[in-house]
C-alpha cells in the first residue's frame, strides 16, 4: 500500500517493509527501530523527524545498506539495497563534513570520482561546475582549514553529488551550524534539488527545518523508533526564506510539534 502523498502512478524509489534493527549489547539486545514500513517516491524529499536516540540515523544507514536490518526488507528501485549501493546510487552527507585536510576543496570533491572510476578527462569540469553552483568556485584551491563551517558542508554536499547519484541520504548535515548559515544551506540544498530532482531522505530533529525542506515528514517515536505518523507538507515551492514567518508554515510547525508530543 502506498503511503499518503503518493499516488498509484508515482514511481517508488525506496520501499521499507517491516524493517527493524536490534543491537546486541553487554546488557542484552536493544531494539533500535521496529516495524517500519514506508514508500518514498522518485524525486521526493522526505524528512525523518524525531527525538535524539529514536533511531533516525540507524534507519538512514539501513536504507543506504550501511547497516543490515535485523528483520524486514529494503528495496531501492525494485532491487535490494545492497545492489543499489554497489551501483553507486547513493550519495551520503553526514553531520561532519569529513574532508581530507591535505586536499583542496576541488580535490575533495574529485575524490569519489576517482573511486567510482569516473572518466578522468571529465572530473575537473564536473567538480568545478558543482562548486560554482554553491558559490565556492573562487575557493576551489583552499584547504579545509581555510574554509568556514558552512563552506565545508557545501563541499561535502557537492562531493556527494559528484558522480550524479539519484538518491541523497543526509544525516543531520546542518545541525552543528549557526542558524544563519543553516538557513542559507537549506536554501542551497533546495536549489540543487530543484535542478536535479534527486530523491532525498533527510534526518533531522529540527522541526522547522523538516517543514521548510520536505514534501513529507515521517515522524518517529522514541526508541524503539517507529513511524508514528506521516505529515504532508503542502507548502508551495520554491520555498523562500520569508515563508518561515507565514501562518501556513507556522501551522505546519505546530502540527509537527503535536505529532512529536503524541
Spatial neighbors of 118 by CB under 8 A, at least 6 apart, are 112, 126, 162, 163
Determine the 3-state secondary structure of 115 from DSSP: helix
Question: What pLDDT was estimated at residue 25?
Answer: 83
Interatomic CA distance for residues 254 and 232, integer angstroms: 13
Looking at residue 10, its pLDDT comes to 63
Q: What is the pLDDT of residue 170?
A: 98
**CATH numbers and ranges of domains, the chain:** 1-89+167-173+198-262 (3.40.50.300)
pTM score = 0.93
Closest CA to 4 of 38, 28, 35: 38
pLDDT string in tens for the chain (262-residue length): 345 445 333 699 999 999 999 988 888 888 999 999 999 999 999 999 999 889 999 999 999 999 999 999 999 999 999 999 999 999 999 999 999 999 999 999 999 999 887 888 999 999 999 999 999 999 999 999 999 999 999 999 999 999 999 999 999 999 989 999 999 999 999 999 999 899 999 999 999 999 999 999 999 999 899 999 999 999 999 999 999 999 999 999 999 999 999 8
Matching residue, cell 547497516: 67
Distance CA 260, CA 249 (A): 17
Q: Are 211 and 252 in contact (CB under 8 A)?
A: yes
Give the Cα separation of 105 and 142 in Å (integer): 6
Identify the helix (H) or strand (E) that includes residue 123: helix 120-133
What span, in angstroms and rounded, lies between the C-alpha atoms of 107 and 110? 5
Amino acid at each position: 500500500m502506498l503511503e499518503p502523498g503518493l499516488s498509484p502512478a508515482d514511481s517508488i524509489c525506496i520501499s521499507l517493509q517491516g524493517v527493524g534493527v536490534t543491537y546486541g549489547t553487554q546488557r542484552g539486545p536493544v531494539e533500535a527501530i521496529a516495524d517500519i514500513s514506508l514508500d518514498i517516491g522518485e524525486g521526493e524529499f522526505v524528512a525523518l523527524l524525531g527525538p535524539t536516540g529514536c533511531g533516525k540515523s540507524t534507519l538512514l544507514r539501513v536504507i543506504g545498506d550501511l547497516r543490515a536490518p535485523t528483520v524486514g526488507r529494503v528495496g531501492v528501485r525494485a532491487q535490494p539495497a545492497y545492489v543499489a549501493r554497489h551501483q553507486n546510487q547513493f550519495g551520503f552527507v553526514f553531520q561532519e563534513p569529513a574532508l581530507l585536510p591535505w586536499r583542496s576543496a576541488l580535490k575533495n570533491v574529485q575524490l569519489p570520482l576517482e573511486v567510482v572510476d569516473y572518466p578522468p578527462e571529465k572530473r575537473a569540469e564536473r567538480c568545478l561546475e558543482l562548486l560554482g553552483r554553491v558559490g565556492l568556485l573562487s575557493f576551489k584551491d583552499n584547504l579545509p582549514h581555510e574554509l568556514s563551517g558552512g563552506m565545508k558542508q557545501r563541499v561535502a554536499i557537492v562531493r556527494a553529488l559528484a558522480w550524479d547519484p539519484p538518491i541523497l541520504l543526509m544525516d543531520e548535515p546542518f545541525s552543528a551550524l549557526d542558524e544563519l548559515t543553516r538557513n542559507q544551506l537549506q536554501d542551497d540544498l533546495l536549489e540543487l534539488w530543484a535542478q536535479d530532482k534527486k530523491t532525498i531522505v533527510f534526518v533531522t530533529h529540527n522541526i522547522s527545518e523538516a517543514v521548510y525542506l520536505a514534501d513529507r515528514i515521517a515522524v518517529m517515536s522514541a526508541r524503539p523508533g517507529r513511524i508514528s505518523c506521516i505529515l504532508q507538507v503542502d507548502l508551495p515551492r520554491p520555498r523562500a526564506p520569508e515563508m518561515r514567518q507565514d501562518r501556513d508554515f507556522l501551522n505546519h510547525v505546530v502540527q509537527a510539534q503535536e505529532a512529536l508530543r503524541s
